[in-house]
Amino acid sequence: MSGEICLILTTVDDEDVAQRLARSLVDQRLAACVQMLPRMRSFYRWQGKTEEAGEFLLQIKTAAGQAGHVTSWLTRHHPYELPEIVRFDGSASAAYAAWISEAVTTPGQPS
């Protein structure tokens, strides 16, 4: 493993919103890949009560240097009052990390 990458997780309760967020992140070159996992059940504490909701999990793969941009973008575009934005920094094979870096860098712009 040698290339630095970042995996960002977020959840939404609407499939159309999940697809829109995923496509926008890739189209805007903020993410190389976004995987949308099917509906799951989330149990959580919110405003003093235990809540339960059906949600879709987005796994957002980006370059380490783009993670702050992804987080800012999600904060602006996410429908939740308090969106889950969890970031994992890590490494990947050199070839995979290079693909991610190329996918999130606009041609002519430094990565």
pLDDT in tens, 45-91: 999 999 999 999 999 999 999 999 999 999 999 999 999 999 999 99
Assess whether pLDDT exceeds 70 at residue 108: no
What does the pLDDT read at residue 106?
65
- Each residue's pLDDT tens digit, 1-58: 568 999 999 999 999 999 999 999 999 999 999 999 999 999 999 999 999 999 999 9
DSSP designation for 36: E
Q: Which residues contact 92 (CB under 8 A, 6 or more apart)?
A: 1, 3, 5, 100
What does the pLDDT read at residue 107?
55
Higher-confidence residue of 1 and 99: namely 99
What does the pLDDT read at residue 111?
47
Q: What are phi and psi of 74, to 5 degrees?
A: -60, -40
What does the pLDDT read at residue 49?
98
Rg (CA), the chain: 15
The arrangement of secondary structure in 3-104, i.e. its CATH architecture, is 2-Layer Sandwich (3.30)
Question: Of 58, 65, 57, nearest to 24 (Cα)?
Answer: 58
Assess whether pLDDT exceeds 70 at residue 110: no
The residue ranges of every structural domain in the chain are 3-104
The token duo for 100 is 């991610």
Q: Amino acid letter at 58?
A: L
The pLDDT mean for the chain works out to 93
Question: Which stretches of the chain are DSSP H helices?
Answer: 15-27, 67-77, 94-104
